[in-house]
Structure 1
């Protein structure tokens, strides 16, 4: 006989997996696409999607594609997304944006993704880049590479074992990426060029806390692929150092 508790947990996990099928690059999905991404039979996915839609977690368009519903957005507004580090970093992000006029992003590592906790952009922001609360891959973003370079070995190995190619320029060779991460640690910054999408480049630096640990990263993203981003490195380092010096000694309280 099936254990109701175990069965309920399984159903809840599958429903959450279906919601997790959406990301910044896939905001609208068909039922079949969701089922394929979650490795679920279409009939099973259909039953769960029906419940999620009735509750408001998903909304179905006239083209039969689904998107995240307003109910999830309303709940998201209640989330305390790294409030303390955002407050600490805010003036430094403002100064950096004024100095560079490029999109500024602050991120922390959450599992195998870069969680974007704050951003500051002008009227024209890079289209595919993250909103606050978005998660993007560690191996294909500037802030992600910085965070990956300073991650525990087990996290790094797990990420390297599941590299996804987003563009022809995404680094998916494990040996090459491992060497690149070593260079990131050595020189103190990471760069990307058309690795997440074909229209952006980025540069990022680590934020060291008072214990010398890297729990967050600061980056700039530009749509001008001809721009020499190395020219903004001094301003980026100054901002990152300012944030790091302002972090409280007990870094763990910020990122739990």
Structure 2
């Protein structure tokens, strides 16, 4: 007769809520769009269970299906709006005029991004009507190795490089940078010149430029970037403007009376 394992060694059953969360987390690993097979692999659940959880999410308007792939809807963004941003109101007040000036000179989507784990997250964005569709596609987390803001964030933290390589660059996104050597070379250039490019590596037909915004230490606070379609935006032509805007933002955040995130308050 088999002896049951001790109570503390037994694996507790996964509730329906936990299963739904597992599927939502799987979407994050797939950049917000995935097939049933991909979600099943990342969620670690039986395909029938994932299919049932997807059905529930679709009924609640959180997931939709397009061309045999499941996508998160904008309702997820509405829920995430309750999450506090990782920059203070005072930091935002200093950044917004810089972002506005950069938008006026480029007329393309301008954004400020920070790092969240192994992804980048846009916490502030300015854009015109013609960039509405693009802005909708940038609501979710951005990969670090193939977006302009992501590369800047990745270049500032060498410890992240082996983590991404261990995940497998090819498995992360269908980007053109799929080897460790190629990524390492790009990061070396970013550290040297303080500018990063995305030449349709993540979203085909779109390109971008980013530069770092520094705090004391120096500590990288985030990145300022511009992104737009290749037929309107020439990265090399606006690289100097983006770099200059990031320098202005850095000076603004170092100005008297401003405390950047992570800096102790004066007593």
Question: Which residue of 2 is the match for residue 119 of structure 1?
Answer: 125
Gaps of 5+ in 2: none
Q: Which residue of 2 aligns with 1:16?
A: 21
How many residues are paired up?
251
Structure 1: unaligned runs, 5 residues or longer: none
CA distance in 2, matches of 1:62, 1:155: 33
The offset of 1:243, in angstroms, is 2.0
Query: Which residue is equivalent to 1:241?
Result: 247
Aligned to 2:86: 82
TM-score scaled by structure 1? Answer: 0.79
Matched, 1:252 2:258: no
**Pair 1:61–1:48, CA change in 2 (3 A):** closer
* 1:180 maps to 2:152: no
- 1:181-220 alignment runs, 5 A limit: 181-220=187-226
Per-residue deviation, 1:119: 1.5
Q: Does 1:143 align with 2:149?
A: yes
Q: Secondary structure at the match of 1:164?
A: helix
* CA RMSD of superposed structures (Å): 3.6
2:44 paired with 1:34? no
The DSSP-based 3-state class of the residue aligned with 1:139 is coil
Indicate conservation of the 8 Å contact 1:57/1:71, yes or no. Answer: yes
The Cα shift of 1:64 comes to 8.7
State the TM-score, normalizing by the size of structure 2: 0.76
Evaluate the alpha carbon distance shift between residue 190 and residue 132 of structure 1 in structure 2; reply closer, same or farther with a 3 A threshold. closer
Cα–Cα, structure 1 residues 253 and 117, in superposed 2: closer, same or farther, change >3 Å? farther
Match in the other structure for 1:102: 108
8 Å contact kept, 1:60–1:66: yes
Choose the corresponding residue for 1:157, options 162, 179, 186: 162
Distance 1:21 1:67 in 2: 11
Contact 1:143 1:190 survives alignment (8 Å):
yes
